[in-house]
Amino acid sequence: MCTMEKGSIISCQITYFPIDSKKYLDEIDEVLDLIKDSGLDHNVDILSTTIRGEADKIFNLIANIHKEMSHKNCNYTMNIMVSNICGCGL
């Protein structure tokens, strides 16, 4: 049984899709750098990235990705799936 309060640690799967971008790989790399720089536990896969950590930090990261990419005039769609099951022995 997980000893942490349910929902305090979450996992989040993010897929970032640049829209109408000639430098789409650069955009994806920028988003991955933001994730890496967050210090959160993450796993980059071929189609998405899974992040695990404190809920507030993950939601702040999502807001930061939105802010940074919008500030750079990037058009995108970002699919986000969140689970409140921490995965620590449930």
Orientation angle between helical segments 55-71 and 24-37, nearest 10 degrees: 150
Exposure string for 45-59, b = 16+ CB within 10 A, e = fewer: eeebbebbbeeeebe
CATH ID of 9-83, from 3.30.950.10, 3.30.70.930, 3.30.1490.20, 3.40.50.720: 3.30.70.930
Average pLDDT of adjacent 10-residue blocks, the chain of 90 residues: 66 97 96 98 96 96 98 97 71
What per-residue confidence (pLDDT) applies to 2?
Answer: 54
What per-residue confidence (pLDDT) applies to 8?
Answer: 84
Residues 6+ apart with CB under 8 A from 81: 12, 13
Helices (H), the chain: 24-37, 55-71
